[in-house]
Structure 1
């Protein structure tokens, strides 16, 4: 088959790598220009550079909505388009152009976690599995019939970074298996149960702000979901932003006001947490490592030299 690809960052890069290892011919690559968005400067292996290294024509576009792109696609005569981490809507005149349509590769277990940053949202929400889904594209975002889907378990100490590395390794076998099915003429793919669908927005700095009214268990996952190199979970102390790099749920039960810097426990400092903290029935969050606004990483016991005061969501 002749294959065109739409993709960006490491997800697109791994997809193009997989395609280049198949028996199929990659005839055109469309990717985005480099971005300064915080979540687009990480995992930023260049799709354009990989395509150029292999002599594949490349188009740089923010959106696939111009006449030149459409003309180049028609000239390339692809039998299939494969997309992964294309950041804007692909219109029907493009995704229906090839005779086999368009295969989209998405890093969640669809129909759940369609949209953006699915691994981060899934970890925040205490999902027990994450994964990758290859599906045929239709008019609704991330909603087409599933061709191949694979999952990996989420461990109790896993970070978003751990899960990124595990799921990105699924791209190669999923792409190969999907293309084998499509080239063989298979169309008996699995419709998604749209009653179980949910769509998540692109993350911004506001989404990393800690709410001390959440239970400590939720905040601990929130911290793991925003591990380096992602923008970290943060709070404010004495008017300055403080990033939380490592935390755990306290062994003891502590009461008081959410956000109170309370007492040392183990290798960290307990922060009172939970909407019902005043009842003294909940665990706190043990902060173990922090990063100050000047970029210094410190053990929490070194940063919080005295107890008392509050961590707040605003300066």
Structure 2
């Protein structure tokens, strides 16, 4: 089939590479301009560079809503648009223009985790699996019929970085498998159960600020979800920002006030956690490695030279 590809960052790059390696023909690529947003500088392989290396025409747009783009799409005479990590709304006159419409590739197990940063949110929420879904685009965000979907299990120590590398490898088989089904003439696919749909926003600095009222189990996943190269989860100690690079749930249960720097346990320093920490029924969060405001990384047992005091959400 003749394919127009809409995409950005490494997700779009992997999708374009899969298309270029397939029997389908890429006739036009549309991508976003480079961004200085913290999360958009991560996994930032260039879709434009890859397209140009293979002689594929490239258009750069923030939004696909101008007449020049519409005319170029009509001239491309595509059988289908394939989109992955396109960051703005695609209007119906665009996604419905090709003969087979638009196939969107999304890195979650839809209908859950529609929207942005699905891997990070899924890890924070303790999901047992994540994956990639290829669905037909309609007017609702990430809501169209599912053509193909594949999942991987989430392990007890997996970071968001681990899950990225494993799910990005699913892009090629999911995308090309879905295209092959469509090219074969299949038209009936799996409707999404909208009662199970969840929608998530882009990550921002506020989303990585540690709230010691959270249970230790949730905080441990938050820290794994903010693994390098993502911005690390942070707190404040004695008025200075302190990034928490690694932590585990404590073996013992600790009572008191959330955020209290309490006790050395194993290779970590336990911080009291949970809104009901006063009951003494909660595990704490044993921080094992930190980064200070001046960029020094060191074991928590070296950073916390004495117990007592509090970690706080604000200076």
TM-score if structure 2 supplies the norm length? 0.99
Deviation at 1:273, TM superposition (A): 0.6
Aligned to 1:179: 179
Aligned counterparts, 1:75-114, within 5 A: 75-114=75-114
The whole-number CA distance in structure 1 between the counterparts of 2:179 and 2:279 is 57
Cα displacement string for residues 61-92 of structure 1 (whole angstroms, at most 9, x for unaligned residues) = 11111111111111111110000000000000
| Rounded Cα–Cα distance in structure 2 between residues aligned with 1:297 and 1:163 | 24
2 CA distance for matches of 1:102 and 1:68? 19
The CA RMSD over aligned residues, in Å, is: 0.6
Match of 1:135 in 2: 135
Residues 187-246 of structure 1: CA deviation (Å, up to 9, x unaligned): 110000000001101110000011101111111011111101111111011111111110
Cα shift at 1:262: 0.7
The residue correspondences of 1:42-57 to structure 2 (distance < 5 A) are 42-57=42-57
Is 1:31 aligned to residue 35 of structure 2?
Answer: no
Does 2:271 correspond to 1:305?
A: no
- Structure 1 runs of 4+ aligned residues shifted over 6 Å read none
Partner of 2:147: 147
Instruction: State which drifts further: 49-58 or 272-281.
Output: 272-281
The alignment status of 1:285 with 2:297, answered yes or no, reads no
Match of 1:237 in 2: 237
Q: Deviations over 1:131-176 (max 9, x none)?
A: 0000000010100000000000000000000000010000011111
Secondary structure, counterpart of 1:187 in structure 2: coil
Partner of 1:118: 118
The equivalent of 1:198 in structure 2 is: 198
Name the residue aligned to 1:65: 65
Matched residue SS, 1:119: helix
Q: CA deviation at 1:4?
A: 0.2
Aligned runs of 1:6-25 on 2, under 5 Å? 6-25=6-25
Q: Trace 1:256-295 onto structure 2 (pairs within 5 A).
A: 256-295=256-295
Give 2:2's aligned residue: 2
**Deviation, structure 1 residue 37:** 0.5
TM-score (norm 1): 0.99
In 1, distance between residues paired with 2:14 and 2:296? 33
| 1:296 Cα offset (Å) | 1.4
Q: How many residues are paired up?
A: 315
SS in 2 for 1:20: helix
